[in-house]
Amino acid sequence: MNSILNIMLFPKKRRTLYFFIAVIFSVNSLVCSGQNSKWVTLSPSAQNEIVQNYVSALDSFAQAMPIVGNDSESIWAADTVHIMAQRVKKGKNSFLRNMADIYQMQNYIGYGMAYFNAIVGAANDSSGLCNYTLHRILAVGDSLHRGVIADDFKNMNKWNHLQFESILNMSLFHKLSLMNFYPQNEDNDFAYCAWNVIVMDSINKNRIFTDKEMFQVASVIESVSFFKMIVPLITMLDGTSGIAEKKKNYVIEVALYFDSNSMPVYTYLNDGKKPKLLGDKEFEAYMLKSTRYKTELLRIVTLEMLAFKANTSSESK
């Protein structure tokens, strides 16, 4: 995804600042960009496939999470996600409510995965990220989740913040791991996820897109944030399993797909010209394909975590 990576360069001292600016935007953003939630044009079958496939992959990911979280909080978070996933799988709620619950599940996963690293790094944490993970991540996530539901999904700006903050929170595990054990290494991926929260806030406030268009814009940018969150996990958790190497070409395929679909929006950020967006049928095809890609990337990390557990168990015998 070189073309995406080259759009923004993040000065090292400002990367943590981007995160906290993103959080401030999320908590305080009260701008309503539309008067209704008729921005979802996906067919009922597409909505069902997206929700069911993604929530199943996310649930499996969460159940393997305590392998790397390795503490009671990660187990609690995994159990909480599983309960929420079972509710979503029943299919009794609307598409938007199910997606809001999925984003909330991602907040819990972010907390569960990062908790141990936050404890380890708290004493020497000058960035504030450990304190945020330990004391604020769930409160912020709960506030955003309740907010979009209370507004009956009519506030696109709040929706986008819940959507993007959940991925940012899932990226904390990798960020804190580097801070604790490889402080000399920079984490551009985390900074990019944080920056996308701010980008979406800016696009919302410019009011150049309708809510229907904003749903599409957010979806393609979200895929980029997801990719920037998940690929570092694939690399970090691979260990001796070799899964990452076997899936290398697949990951490149995903990168090119997400890159090509997001570039019109990123180009708009540079030149200010409203991009031509996909038609309803094209966008539905994109959503289905991007969800399949994301579920497979989640499955790859899940397999890596399970392989790590198997290797650890065999070594202890």
Nearest to 261 by CA among 238, 246, 278: 278
Determine the Cα–Cα distance for residues 155 and 157; give it in Å rounded to an integer.
6
pLDDT in the model for residue 25: 45
Read off the tokens for 35: 């008067």
% helix, strand, coil for the chain, step of 5: 80, 0, 20
| pLDDT confidence of residue 313 | 54
Cα dist. 61→12, 71, 154, 296, 298 in Å?
31, 16, 30, 11, 6
Neighbours of 152 (CB within 10 A): 12
**Helix count and strand count (H, E) for the chain:** 15, 0
Sort residue 311 into left (φ over 0), alpha (ψ -120 to 50) or beta: alpha
- Report pLDDT for 3: 35
Output the CA–CA distances (angstroms, integers) from residue 153 to 29, 39, 42, 162, 222, in the order listed: 15, 10, 16, 11, 18
What is the 3-state secondary structure of 155-191?
Answer: CHHHHHHHHHHHHHHHCHHHHHHHHHHCCCCCCHHHH
Tell me what pLDDT residue 310 has.
66
Number of neighbouring beta carbons within 10 Å of residue 286: 17
Cβ contacts of 151 within 8 Å, gap of 6 or more? 32, 158
pLDDT at 185: 81
Q: Which residues of 209-240 are buried (b: 16+ CB within 10 A; e: fewer)?
A: bebbbbbbbbbbbbbbbbbbbbbbbbebbbee
Q: For the chain (length 317 residues), average pLDDT per consecutive 10?
A: 35 45 44 52 96 98 91 95 96 93 97 93 85 89 94 90 95 92 84 90 87 94 96 88 90 96 91 91 98 97 88 56
Residue 82's alpha-carbon distances to 55, 175, 192, 216, in angstroms, are 10, 25, 29, 28
pLDDT reported for residue 315: 55
